[in-house]
Structure 1
């Protein structure tokens, strides 16, 4: 699946050759504040943990993966949007509930890029794939990510202890249940 450009941004599904792009975003301690306490990711971590994880859920036909986000006018790479089934790395992945995540270079913060790209990708997937439920998780202190969730129409679901092979922490869970045209009433 391809995601067409939104008003200011263009998108490309990243693949297993894009480790350097993931590494690039993770070098800013501000970006990593709520992920690793501000410690930049090493290339060894990207190659040994992040890329194999991407390979496990990467599915271009279903739009699962990490979508590179560039400013259309300059073609500058500013970050990415993650799309995969919620709880993918558990015994019960939710294939009908797609988790969205985002990570953007700090110089691009405050311009609406995360909300624009997350909403656009979510809408494109809903239209093309018929997925009706999307969610996102964040550290409860990460108010910027929570604002993005709210801007794209998600609502608070719960605070819980999230467990994943890569990390475990208390998280907030936000979700959006779209109304299917076939089940809506006028």
Structure 2
């Protein structure tokens, strides 16, 4: 990943630094993909080995950064000095749109972190990447994610299917 593609810090809030993932964040990627509670509304199997997180970092995160100039960003909690989740854009060819996706460690749920990171990240979509519209795909029943989407100004646009799962599609013009 070249530092000339995007800033070292994508966005910053009072509590959070939103930045590109680095090699040092692979253990955090493992946690975000291995805790069953986090994966309740994620259509994926839990990771069982750190090598799976390394593969995601190498084959997905880095590729998206290199090919698109954006991707899921690490959400670093300033006070706790650790990566607690991710939030950021991802191009979804199935919809030909850019999705705002987010995921956090359970101990940070219900504290406004999701909204704080989503708002700060959405504010960068147009100026940094020229993205004019964002969507969020949210599995039925994921009320926490729906609340974040609504709070940042997204509206329910459609119901669809994604990898065999029923999803609500929220969208927002930027």
Give 3-state SS (helix, strand or coil) of 2:141's partner. coil
Higher RCO structure (Cα 8 Å, ≥6 apart): 2
- Summarize the Cα distance change of 1:169–1:56 in structure 2 as closer, same or farther, 3 Å threshold: farther
Match of 1:148 in 2: 148
Deviation at 1:102, TM superposition (A): 0.8
* Alpha-carbon distance in structure 2 between the residues aligned to 1:57 and 1:130: 16
Pairwise CA RMSD of aligned residues? 2.4
Return the structure number with greater helix share.
Answer: 2
Is 2:165 aligned against 1:159? no
* Alpha-carbon distance in structure 2 between the residues aligned to 1:114 and 1:139: 16
- Summarize the Cα distance change of 1:128–1:35 in structure 2 as closer, same or farther, 3 Å threshold: closer
Q: Which is greater in Rg? A: 1
How many residues in Structure 1 have an aligned counterpart in Structure 2?
166
* Aligned 8 A contact 1:137 1:172 in 2: yes
Is 2:13 aligned against 1:6? yes
Q: 1:26 aligns with which of 11, 33, 36?
A: 33
TM-score (norm 2): 0.82
* Alpha-carbon distance in structure 2 between the residues aligned to 1:55 and 1:142: 28
Match of 1:69 in 2: 75
1:110-149 alignment runs, 5 A limit: 110-149=110-149
Which sits farther off after the overlay, 113-122 or 42-51? 42-51
Deviation at 1:113, TM superposition (A): 0.6
Deviation at 1:108, TM superposition (A): 0.4
Is 2:102 aligned against 1:102? yes
TM-score (norm 1): 0.77
Offset from partner CA, 1:51-97 (integer Å, 9 cap, x none): 423243224873x122111122332321111312232xx5xx73xx4
